[in-house]
Amino acid sequence: MRNKSLLISLCVMLCALLCCACTDCAALCPAMNDPRMDNFAELREDYRRVARFAADVFEARDEDELFIYYDSETFFLHADDHYPFGRVELDCGEDVLAAAQRIEQLAYRPFSSIDVYSDHLIFWKDETGDYGVLCSDRPQDIIAERRDNVWDSFRFNRLDDHWYEIGQMR
């Protein structure tokens, strides 16, 4: 009876160790965790069109940063101190809306917001900030500046000149 109990305990411990080993391997395996957009070349012009629109909105407003949201039908700004009267919809034109909808349908991860700054912008998948597409004339500098404090657990995948996928891996 005691041997049977010992054997069961050993089997349970072995299973637990095996599960831990598999979990660690999955977390460390880049192929399972790296963000990947294999069709960026197909979507490049769509991203550029939406990025130009976001940059134009940013230029028209005298702000250090701007957060533009997208809900499959329209671009808008949320109500806050600058816009206290609720959601402010932005007129983007049919070409920009079509580009955004194409990105939504075909991209590795669609975006729901765009953070716009003077030297870069980021298409974020959602408010968690765990996946985005960075656009900048100096992406390596932006990555280096933010890596130490905000993006310390992010991985980066170069898509094109000025374009990087950024993602938080577990």
Show contacts of 88-97: CB within 8 Å, 24+ apart.
90/57, 92/53, 93/53, 95/49, 96/49, 96/50, 96/53, 97/73
Work out the burial of residue 155: count CB atoms within 10 Å of its CB; fewer than 13 is exposed, 13-18 middle, 19 or more buried.
middle
* Predicted pLDDT of residue 38: 85
Domain boundaries, the chain: 1-28, 34-168
Question: In sequence order, which residues have a C-beta less than 8 Å from that of residue 69 and are 6 or more positions away?
Answer: 75, 76, 77, 78, 112, 113, 114
* Predicted pLDDT of residue 87: 83
- How does pLDDT run along the chain (170 residues), one tens digit per residue? 566 565 555 544 554 444 444 444 444 444 434 557 889 999 999 999 999 999 999 999 888 899 999 999 999 998 665 666 778 899 999 999 999 999 999 998 899 999 999 999 999 998 888 899 999 999 989 988 888 777 878 889 999 999 999 987 54
The upper half-sphere exposure of residue 92, i.e. CA atoms within 13 Å in the direction of its Cβ, equals 28
Question: In sequence order, which residues have a C-beta less than 8 Å from that of residue 159 and are 6 or more positions away?
Answer: 37, 40, 133, 165
* Predicted pLDDT of residue 25: 42
